[in-house]
């Protein structure tokens, strides 16, 4: 599913065009790959209780970033309990015997730091950025709430209202977000990735103390977490603090994680939302796709290169042909992320230009897909896509926030540190033949959902 769901809209273009001539052949000059970034100086160790710790030292600034990733997300919820993973994330700030309710973030703010958290389908993560000399404090407080969280009704009930208000603001007030929910359900069915992370409102209202306590007791444990420290510190310093604060936490028996291979019924389907709040019509098509962990996983790296070549910003084929050349659209792009335990999706999105219809833009986009399936991707397009992907990896490794997120999202979705470190080389190794094979396997209209976001009277 496209992460920027604000690019959606109009109907199937498959029947609106016949195959045209292929794109003009551009110069086939081989673009040299940049030197692969060195494997970062990441160090890892594991405590006796199963907590994996990763240290990414960097002395460029006297700050540290701490992240703790729990291997549990909304896809691990039981039927009828949607939103409990996200709800517990909120409740993790509601206090322990040593940190009063609401004080966790205030303590960090008073020290000049900042903190936050997020929940996804496959993981939940908490992070803080502070001065390097405050590392002891944030490790102590994070370890404390791993084992000593107080789940009390007087804190839970107001926070449940906060979550419901968050849903109203983030989802129900945004037509594109509501369409996204409908699209996901159509693509995956009403299970797993087809259920919103924040939950359904009627199920959120039913969540109580027992639900929150059970979720916490079953999933929040050192052997179900990865602690990542990046910044101005050393492995020895982190090890000493981890031994002091996290080592006393007891292991737990963690429920096994499963993901279904089931997808939505009645595909292909079209999902439409008309809304008076929509000023600009949008069209998208999402195809069921493999991830690193499920489906035809051998296609994952090729699909990343394909997505970048087809829809990677203003140099991607879709933007170049639809926006710059034919001017049938004002925006066009693709989205694909294989970082999931279950199936994922490959998405194409187009926003039609003024005076052009959604059908025009959709037909132009699907024409490019048809040409891609027939003729493949030129070598220079592939090389440029690889360069952009590698540049993104270099910048991410250089960041105290993006680097930890690379490791955290990988390790919580069944990957290893080697998968992060070897990713650039695997991208470079992708061939044009592999890209064509992946495109033909995934861009199958019988396993897709078209989404239309339209003005109420459009």
pLDDT digits (tens, 9 = 90+) for 298-340: 999 999 999 999 998 898 999 999 999 999 999 999 999 999 9
How does residue 152 score in pLDDT terms, banded at 50, 70 and 90? very high
Task: Tell me the per-residue pLDDT of 42-70, one tens digit each, with 9 for 90 and over.
Answer: 999 999 999 999 999 999 999 999 999 99
- Mean pLDDT of all residues belonging to the chain: 91
Task: Tell me the per-residue pLDDT of 237-293, one tens digit each, with 9 for 90 and over.
Answer: 999 999 999 999 999 999 899 999 999 999 999 999 999 999 999 999 999 999 999
Angle between helices 84-91 and 209-219 (to 10 degrees): 90
Q: Check whether 178 has a pLDDT greater than 70.
A: yes
Q: Which two tokens stand for residue 364?
A: 């132009």
Task: Tell me the per-residue pLDDT of 364-376, one tens digit each, with 9 for 90 and over.
Answer: 999 999 999 999 9
Q: Check whether 112 has a pLDDT greater than 70.
A: yes
How does residue 6 score in pLDDT terms, banded at 50, 70 and 90? very low
The answer to pTM > 0.85 is yes
Task: Tell me the per-residue pLDDT of 340-354, one tens digit each, with 9 for 90 and over.
Answer: 999 999 999 999 999
| H runs (alpha helix) in 231-356 | 235-245, 300-311, 317-318
Lowest mean pLDDT among 12-21, 148-157, 348-357: 12-21
Q: What is the 8-class DSSP label of residue 35?
A: P
Task: Tell me the per-residue pLDDT of 207-241, one tens digit each, with 9 for 90 and over.
Answer: 999 999 999 999 999 999 999 999 999 999 999 99
Catalytic positions, written as ranges = 89
Residue 32 pLDDT? 53
Q: Check whether 75 has a pLDDT greater than 70.
A: yes
**Distance between CA atoms of 324 and 314, rounded to whole angstroms?**
9
Residue 41 pLDDT? 74
Residue 190 pLDDT? 95
- What Rg value do the Cα atoms of the chain yield, rounded? 23
Ordered by start, the domain boundaries in the chain are: 14-37+265-455, 50-245
**Distance between CA atoms of 195 and 213, rounded to whole angstroms?**
22
CATH-assigned architecture of domain 50-245 = 2-Layer Sandwich (3.30)
CATH 3.30.1490.100 holds for 14-37+265-455:
no
**Distance between CA atoms of 24 and 14, rounded to whole angstroms?**
22
Q: Which long-range contacts (CB under 8 A, 24 or more apart) does 323-331 make?
A: 323/353, 326/364, 327/353, 327/356, 328/352, 328/353, 328/356, 328/360, 328/361, 328/364, 329/353, 329/356, 329/361, 329/364, 329/365, 330/354, 331/7
Percent of the chain scored above 70 by pLDDT? 91
Lowest mean pLDDT among 28-32, 182-186, 258-262, 278-282: 28-32
> What's the whole-number mean pLDDT along residues 10-39?
36
Q: Is the omega angle on the peptide bond into residue 268 within 30 degrees of 0, that is, cis?
A: yes
Q: Which residue has the higher pLDDT, 222 or 16?
A: 222
Asked if domains 14-37+265-455 and 50-245 share a fold, the reply is: yes
């Amino acid at each position: 599913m496209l992460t920027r769901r604000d690019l959606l809209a109009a109907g199937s273009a498959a029947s609106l065009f016949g195959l045209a001539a292929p794109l003009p052949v551009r110069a086939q000059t081989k673009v040299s790959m940049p030197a692969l970034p060195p494997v970062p100086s990441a160090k890892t160790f594991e405590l006796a209780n199963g907590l994996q710790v990763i240290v990414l030292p960097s002395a460029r600034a006297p700050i540290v970033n701490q992240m703790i990733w729990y291997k549990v997300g909304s896809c691990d919820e039981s039927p009828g309990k949607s939103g409990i993973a996200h709800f517990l994330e909120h409740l993790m700030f509601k206090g322990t015997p040593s940190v009063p309710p609401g004080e966790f973030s205030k303590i960090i703010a008073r020290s000049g730091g900042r903190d936050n958290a997020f929940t996804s389908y496959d993981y939940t993560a908490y992070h803080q950025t502070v001065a390097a000399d405050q590392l002891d404090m944030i490790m102590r407080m994070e370890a404390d709430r791993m084992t000593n969280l107080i789940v009390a009704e007087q804190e839970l009930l107001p926070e449940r209202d906060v979550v419901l208000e968050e849903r109203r603001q983030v989802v129900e007030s945004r037509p594109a977000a509501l369409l996204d929910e409908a699209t996901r359900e159509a693509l995956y069915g009403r299970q797993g990735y087809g259920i919103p992370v924040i939950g359904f409102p009627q199920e959120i209202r039913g969540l109580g103390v027992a639900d929150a306590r059970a979720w916490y007791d079953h999933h929040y444990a050192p052997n179900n977490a990865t602690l990542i420290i990046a910044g101005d510190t050393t492995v020895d310093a982190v090890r000493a603090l981890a031994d002091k604060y996290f080592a006393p936490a007891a292991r737990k028996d963690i429920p096994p994680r499963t993901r279904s291979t089931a997808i939505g019924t009645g595909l292909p389907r079209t999902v439409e939302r008309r809304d008076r709040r929509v000023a600009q019509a949008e069209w998208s098509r999402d195809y069921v796709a493999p991830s690193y962990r499920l489906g035809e996983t051998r296609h994952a790296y090729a699909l990343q290169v394909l997505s970048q070549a087809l829809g990677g910003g203003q140099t991607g084929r879709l933007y170049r042909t639809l926006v710059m050349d034919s001017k049938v659209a004002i925006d066009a792009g693709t989205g694909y992320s294989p970082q999931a335990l279950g199936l994922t999706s490959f998405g194409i999105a187009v926003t039609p230009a003024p005076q052009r219809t959604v059908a025009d833009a959709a037909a132009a986009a699907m024409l490019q897909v048809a040409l891609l399936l027939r003729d493949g991707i030129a070598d220079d397009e592939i090389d440029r896509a690889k360069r952009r992907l590698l540049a993104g990896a270099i910048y991410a490794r250089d960041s105290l926030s993006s680097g930890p997120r690379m490791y955290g999202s990988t390790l919580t979705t069944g990957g290893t540190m080697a998968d992060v470190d070897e990713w650039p080389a695997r991208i470079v190794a992708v061939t044009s033949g592999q890209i064509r094979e992946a495109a033909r396997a995934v861009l199958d209209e019988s396993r897709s959902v078209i989404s239309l976001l339209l003005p109420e009277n459009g």
